[in-house]
Amino acid sequence: MPESAEETRAPDVRRTLVTGGAGFVGSHLIEVLLERGDHVTVIDNLSTGRQSNLGAGHARLRFIESTVTRALDAFGPGERFDEIYHLAAAVGVQLILEDPIGSIETNVEQTSAVLRFARTHGRDGGPASILLTSSSEVYGKPASDVFCEDDDVVYGPTTALRWSYAQTKAIDEYLALAHHARCGVPAVVVRLFNTVGPRQVGSYGMVLPRFVESALRGEPLKVFGDGEQSRCFCDVRDVVRVLPKLLGSQACAGRVFNVGSDESISIRALAEAVIATLGSTSTVSMVPYGDAYPGGFEDLRHRRPSLERVRSAVGFEPKWNLTDTIQDLANEIRQQLVKEESSQ
Ligand SMILES: NC(=O)c1ccc[n+]([C@@H]2O[C@H](COP(=O)([O-])OP(=O)(O)OC[C@H]3O[C@@H](n4cnc5c(N)ncnc54)[C@H](O)[C@@H]3O)[C@@H](O)[C@H]2O)c1
**What's the gap in Å between 300 CA and the centre of ligand 1?**
21
- Report the share of the chain in percent with pLDDT over 70: 96
User: Which one of 85, 139, 155, 165 is the catalytic residue?
Assistant: 165
**What's the gap in Å between 284 CA and the centre of ligand 1?**
29
| 222 pLDDT higher than 60 | yes
The whole-number pLDDT of residue 343 equals: 83
Instruction: Please name each of the domains of the chain with its CATH number.
Output: 13-196+236-259 (3.40.50.720), 207-232+263-303+319-342 (3.90.25.10)
Instruction: Assess whether the C-beta atom of 103 lies below 6 angstroms from ligand 1.
Output: no
Question: Closest ligand 1 atom, CA of 200?
Answer: 20
pLDDT digits (tens, 9 = 90+) for 193-220: 999 999 998 777 789 999 999 999 999 9
Average pLDDT over residues 319-344: 92
Split at pLDDT 50, 70, 90, the class of 301 is confident
Dihedral sign from CA coordinates of 231, 232, 237, 243:
negative
Instruction: Assess whether the C-beta atom of 111 lies below 6 angstroms from ligand 1.
Output: no
Instruction: Assess whether the C-beta atom of 43 lies below 6 angstroms from ligand 1.
Output: yes
| C-alpha distance from residue 240 to each of 76, 91, 119, 131, 260 (Å) | 29, 17, 24, 12, 10
> What single DSSP character describes residue 140?
B
The whole-number pLDDT of residue 3 equals: 40
| 8 pLDDT higher than 60 | no
pLDDT digits (tens, 9 = 90+) for 286-297: 999 888 877 777
Instruction: Assess whether the C-beta atom of 110 lies below 6 angstroms from ligand 1.
Output: yes
Is residue 289 part of the annotated active site? The answer reads: no
**What's the gap in Å between 20 CA and the centre of ligand 1?**
6
What's this model's pTM, rounded to 2 decimal places?
A: 0.94
Instruction: Assess whether the C-beta atom of 30 lies below 6 angstroms from ligand 1.
Output: no
| 2 pLDDT higher than 50 | no
Split at pLDDT 50, 70, 90, the class of 11 is low
Q: Residues 294, 296, 299, CA angle at the centre, nearest 5°?
A: 120
**What would you report as the CA-atom Rg of the chain, rounded to the nearest whole angstrom?**
20
Question: Closest ligand 1 atom, CA of 26?
Answer: 16
Question: Closest ligand 1 atom, CA of 43?
Answer: 33
Between 162 and 217, residue with greater pLDDT: 217
Distance CA 193, CA 149 (A): 12
| 100 pLDDT higher than 50 | yes
> How much is the mean pLDDT over the chain?
93
The whole-number pLDDT of residue 10 equals: 58
CA nearest ligand 1 atom 23, residue: 20
CA nearest ligand 1 atom 1, residue: 195
